Structure 1
Amino acid sequence: MNGLSLLSFILITVVVALISWYKTRKENLQTATGLFFANRNLGFLVVGGALFFTNISAVQFIGENELVFTNNMSVMAWGLSSVLAMLLVSEFIMPVYLRSGISTTPDFLEERYDTGTKRFVSTIFLVSYIVNMLPSVLYSGAITFNGLFRVSEVLHLDYWTTIWLLVWLIGLIGFLYTALGGLKAVAISDTVLGVGMFVGGILLPYAALKFLGQGSVKAGIDILLSSRREHFNAIGGPHDSVPFSTIFTGMLLVNLYYWGTEQYIVQQALASRSLAESQKGIAVACAGKIVSPLLLNIPGLIAVHLYTSMDNTAEVFPRIVSDVCPPLLTGFMAAIAFGAALTTFNAGLNSTSTLFVLNLYKPYKTWKQQTPSEQELVKAAKRFEILVCLLAMCIAPFIAFARQGLYTYIQIVSGFFSVPIFTILVMGLLHKRMPAIAAKIGLVFFITTYAISQLLVDTGLHFLHVLAILFVLTVLLMMIIAKLCPRKEPFVQQWNNVVALQPWKHRHIYAVLLLLAMVALFVIFSPLGLAR
């Protein structure tokens, strides 16, 4: 462990924490709105930074570079295709949410269907965060930190023990950060780290190409382009980790769910001061997705030429950082990766307590004819965060036994929770007489059949195609139920907005530019471009 790298890491991490503290020191965190939604007063840059960096965690640093190293650039499709999904959410879904004045996405499902649907979906969200999202963030953060600083070697610990130690370290720091700073602290640190990630996205490929070219960046580029060109291909084939056809089936559905329904993501946009600021913030996050391959994919491409093989391909990213970067830059990259793990974990933790307190705990108290105070709600939220944090820290190390690789494992498991919820949301928006019973049956049918397809029966299909097929089948099932027992009165949304609803007038111009940039990147990393 290099002392200068460690000093650089500590310094940058402390600076980010101090900026977050300074910006949130006057925030009232003794109310649910203050703790969970930053008093609904975030500007577009903070919203955009929070959306982008909450989405980017050590999972992406580790998982995407690993898949580029072992396969090709087809994994880039997850991030790039999300630009289309984000713009659709900005235009069609976010206005609906802000018009309703909701606090959580299940709140809208309650308004559209009934309270039972809201509680069912809230429970699904909580299970998803506890068994998948939060543990995977902790595990990937631990891998990154160990790879960068060789913690296991320095402390003379075996790999398994080291991962347990780092998982608990990140988890405890994340809990303190969330409990003391609330959503505003998470959003501010996300914005600062987003700038740092952009800087790192330039410096790391530069350092790696210079190392590859033995001191010359130009020589490094020549070596990169001289062979192994198949790794440049983002147009994945049937046997690649992300077949290109999945972009138009399950991947689109997963991305629409993620950006339009996932609580810990949507909560950032709901905290904006107006619809226009929310839409601008989403556009900023889209721009971040366009440049993110610099750090999430290009290092994996360079690693193909640096390492003929690796015992643990999940360590591609930390290995290349520690090998090619000078100590100061290594510490800087470690701070960015550590911050990515921390802020995503913090946002997820904040959202679990939001869902629990507002959708389960508070209704339970009301049912018992009790009216909990704001202080009681905040106290319940922090106690629940402790429980969730402990569960996630216990589950995280066991992800090491996932056979498909970290990133693919996360996407497959998230399928149990993501598209089923998005399906009933879409049908609720499009079919005004869709009854609540159809939503409940649809959820159970989708989750059960997906579980069978992944755990019991080998369909021979990519899991994203399976998700798309089950989406269609669930929609048909819900339509049949709606035909047999439709809702008595057509659904009419009630306006209960708490922020201004005037949309951003320049949104369509920026949407076209962002979509053109997305298509251009796919062309560059294809057989028509660099993969020729």
Structure 2
Amino acid sequence: MTLSSIDLTIFVFYVIGLLIAALWISRNEKNHERNTGDYFLASKSLPWWAIGASLIAANISAEQIIGMSGSGYAIGLAIASYEWMAAITLLIVGKYFLPIFLKQKIYSMPQFLEQRFDARVKTVMAIFWLGVYVFVNLSSILWLGGLAIAAMTGVDIVFGMLFLALFSVAYSLYGGLKAVAFTDIIQVVLLVLGGIILSYLALDKIGQGQGVIAGFESLVNLAPEKFDMILSKDNPHYMSLPGISVLVGGMWVMNLSYWGFNQYIIQRALAAKNINEAHKGIVFAAFLKLLMPIIVVLPGIAAVVLIPNLTAPDQAYPQMMALMPVGLKGLIFAALVAAIISSVSSMSNSISTIFTLDIYQRIKPNKSQTHYVNIGRMASLLALCLALLIAKPLLGQFEQAFQYIQEFTGFFTPGIVVLFLLGLFWPRMNANGALGAALGSAVFSLLLKVLWPSLPFIDRVGLVFLICLVVAVAVSLFIPTAQKHPEQSVNLAEIEFTTSTTFNTAAIALTIIIAALYVTWW
């Protein structure tokens, strides 16, 4: 299946327009040398609407659109828990974590770990994050994006991945986070519009032209098993989403790690003009998360009725796009590529931030700002090249890449959440306890996977979190660190946790909406 000339024209106009916008945004002020604050934190100038849009654009990529749509095809609406619970998690991050990070004036998560603990913890976690970002996140984004391009255009998947990498380099390598964040406004508008159109047309087709309401009612009647939010033990996908544990167990750990302590995401909020702008941006992103299941999960469920014999679930979204009429197909294809490009650019920028500021600058201190910016660009380029090489060997064998990504990262997230939570809120937590939690997370996760294979991975994440919590506390109490400069605990008395009436009202409204959604589809 190939795109028509009209579809290709729409897509080409999008590509050219995005490049022009990125270059205009990235232009230097006269007589101003670009420094690391400009390149990695957008000169701390991001307004709320850019923060919120960029958070969503960075999050919703090929792994979400293709992968989560595939999980919608295989599992159903239950996969939307990742989206709706993320909205609540964003509010927690905005109220309790972000004020501390902004008060500390950090560039990166490893930098905070060095301030709070020591260089050992920073280095271990910086290397870990670089490995996960390149070998899991960036490679999966490129692979699934290449898969979508191949399905839509008929080109080889390798050429699709190369296009994504080169496009990302063309507009983000020069401008850094500022170029990524402000062009994300375009990306999110296109993503939301394209996703809603696709869902609308799919439901209208199922309803045989009687409208989306009739189509949705027909879809529920034709595939009722796909509309269970809480899966029972006899469900074949219970291991992926184990019933009530989704609401009270390990998914909270996964979400807190991703939205609160993940450089790839939190970097946008760190670049805010001030805490109020960051709070408004987070609320904006949280409301957008409510829409995501309509945009990414619903097309996958609709494919169960419209295209019931797919060879792999991850083909659902690309094949659904093939059903769209000329013109709209080009728009939706542009929306998909927009999301992928944004995530590729965001991920590569975060990789360059951690490598340059947390590893390279320690080895080569006292260099010029221009030197560090150029090193960051080289790190981005190298990461993209490496991800291109390893994408197919790592991901080519998986039918549901989204579940693969969640399970792999679940080996490490319990320890990350423990060391950050205790590092933020328990003054007696020390560097040895942090290392015990970080390293123990991988060890305990592997042991449980081998010795208790019937334990669902989300439950495993929750159990490992509790074990790491005990380990971190015990090690901190009984094994003091022998270092010249003791850990600097966060002085919570100096942190302003008060939020505005707007933030509080939005938090209550979001909680009520999400509770209603779960009650409706229980």
TM-score bucket of the superposed structures, by smaller chain:
over 0.9
Task: Identify the match of residue 429 of structure 1 among 424, 428, 431.
Answer: 424
Indicate whether 1:518 and 2:520 are aligned.
no
Report the residue type matching 2:85 in the other structure. Answer: S
Alignment of 1:394-473 (within 5 A): 394-403=389-398, 405-454=400-449, 456-473=450-467
Match of 2:490 in 1: 493
Report the residue type matching 1:106 in the other structure. Answer: P
How many Å apart are 1:4 and its aligned residue?
A: 1.2
Worse-superposed segment, 26-35 or 485-494 = 485-494
Match of 2:53 in 1: 49
- Residues 199-248 of structure 1: per-residue CA shift (max 9 Å, x gap): 22321122112223343326534532332211112222334232232332
Distance (Å, rounded) in 1 between the aligned partners of 2:11 and 2:97: 39
1:173–1:501 distance in 2 versus 1, CA, 3 Å: farther
Alignment of 1:121-270 (within 5 A): 121-151=125-155, 162-217=156-211, 220-238=215-233, 239=235, 240=237, 241-244=240-243, 245-270=245-270
Whether the aligned pair in 2 keeps the contact of 1:175 and 1:349 (CA below 8 Å) is: no
1:322–1:180 distance in 2 versus 1, CA, 3 Å: same
Whether the aligned pair in 1 keeps the contact of 2:81 and 2:246 (CA below 8 Å) is: no
How many Å apart are 1:441 and its aligned residue?
A: 2.1
Task: Identify the match of residue 8 of structure 2 among 6, 20, 40.
Answer: 6
How many Å apart are 1:19 and its aligned residue?
A: 2.8
How many Å apart are 1:415 and its aligned residue?
A: 1.8
1:247–1:402 distance in 2 versus 1, CA, 3 Å: farther
Distance (Å, rounded) in 1 between the aligned partners of 2:28 and 2:512: 42
How many Å apart are 1:264 and its aligned residue?
A: 1.0
Distance (Å, rounded) in 2 between the aligned partners of 1:246 and 1:235: 8
- Residues 29-86 of structure 1: per-residue CA shift (max 9 Å, x gap): 7211111111000000000000111110011111111112122211000011111111
How many Å apart are 1:501 and its aligned residue?
A: 9.3
Worse-superposed segment, 60-69 or 415-424 = 415-424
Match of 1:280 in 2: 280
How many Å apart are 1:96 and its aligned residue?
A: 0.3
Indicate whether 1:344 and 2:338 are aligned.
no
Report the residue type matching 1:211 in the other structure. Answer: K
Task: Identify the match of residue 39 of structure 1 among 16, 40, 43.
Answer: 43
Distance (Å, rounded) in 2 between the aligned partners of 1:18 and 1:504: 37
1:386–1:234 distance in 2 versus 1, CA, 3 Å: same
Whether the aligned pair in 2 keeps the contact of 1:274 and 1:502 (CA below 8 Å) is: no
Taking only aligned residues, the RMSD between alpha carbons, in angstroms, comes to 2.2
Whether the aligned pair in 1 keeps the contact of 2:416 and 2:437 (CA below 8 Å) is: no
Match of 2:375 in 1: 380
**Secondary structure class of the residue paired with 1:330:** helix
**Secondary structure class of the residue paired with 1:273:** coil
Report the residue type matching 2:463 in the other structure. Answer: I
Report the residue type matching 2:7 in the other structure. Answer: S
Whether the aligned pair in 2 keeps the contact of 1:204 and 1:299 (CA below 8 Å) is: yes
**Secondary structure class of the residue paired with 2:174:** helix
**Secondary structure class of the residue paired with 2:470:** helix
Question: Percent same amino acid among aligned pairs?
Answer: 27
1:121–1:221 distance in 2 versus 1, CA, 3 Å: closer
1:459–1:378 distance in 2 versus 1, CA, 3 Å: same
Report the residue type matching 2:14 in the other structure. Answer: I
Match of 1:159 in 2: none
Whether the aligned pair in 2 keeps the contact of 1:77 and 1:242 (CA below 8 Å) is: no
Segments of 5+ residues of structure 1 without an aligned counterpart are: 152-161, 527-532
How many Å apart are 1:25 and its aligned residue?
A: 2.5
Match of 1:530 in 2: none
Task: Identify the match of residue 477 of structure 1 among 468, 471, 476.
Answer: 471
Match of 2:98 in 1: 94
Worse-superposed segment, 71-80 or 233-242 = 233-242
**Secondary structure class of the residue paired with 1:297:** helix
TM-score by length of 2: 0.92
How many Å apart are 1:167 and its aligned residue?
A: 1.4
Whether the aligned pair in 2 keeps the contact of 1:49 and 1:190 (CA below 8 Å) is: yes
Worse-superposed segment, 241-250 or 215-224 = 215-224
Distance (Å, rounded) in 1 between the aligned partners of 2:496 and 2:24: 27
How many Å apart are 1:357 and its aligned residue?
A: 0.6
Match of 1:104 in 2: 108
Report the residue type matching 2:34 in the other structure. Answer: Q
How many Å apart are 1:308 and its aligned residue?
A: 2.4
Distance (Å, rounded) in 2 between the aligned partners of 1:51 and 1:133: 16
Indicate whether 1:18 and 2:20 are aligned.
yes
Worse-superposed segment, 478-487 or 198-207 = 478-487
Whether the aligned pair in 2 keeps the contact of 1:125 and 1:417 (CA below 8 Å) is: no
**Secondary structure class of the residue paired with 2:309:** coil
How many Å apart are 1:173 and its aligned residue?
A: 1.9
How many Å apart are 1:133 and its aligned residue?
A: 0.6
1:404–1:206 distance in 2 versus 1, CA, 3 Å: closer
Report the residue type matching 2:37 in the other structure. Answer: T
Distance (Å, rounded) in 1 between the aligned partners of 2:189 and 2:92: 25
1:494–1:429 distance in 2 versus 1, CA, 3 Å: closer
Worse-superposed segment, 222-231 or 508-517 = 222-231
Whether the aligned pair in 2 keeps the contact of 1:353 and 1:381 (CA below 8 Å) is: yes
Distance (Å, rounded) in 2 between the aligned partners of 1:126 and 1:221: 42
Report the residue type matching 2:224 in the other structure. Answer: R
1:222–1:83 distance in 2 versus 1, CA, 3 Å: closer
TM-score by length of 1: 0.91
**Secondary structure class of the residue paired with 1:226:** helix
- Residues 266-313 of structure 1: per-residue CA shift (max 9 Å, x gap): 101000000010011000000110011111111112111112211132
**Secondary structure class of the residue paired with 1:506:** helix
**Secondary structure class of the residue paired with 2:428:** coil
Match of 1:82 in 2: 86
Whether the aligned pair in 2 keeps the contact of 1:4 and 1:328 (CA below 8 Å) is: yes
Report the residue type matching 2:338 in the other structure. Answer: G
Report the residue type matching 1:217 in the other structure. Answer: G
Whether the aligned pair in 2 keeps the contact of 1:87 and 1:511 (CA below 8 Å) is: yes
1:15–1:524 distance in 2 versus 1, CA, 3 Å: farther
Distance (Å, rounded) in 2 between the aligned partners of 1:79 and 1:226: 24
Distance (Å, rounded) in 1 between the aligned partners of 2:15 and 2:496: 36
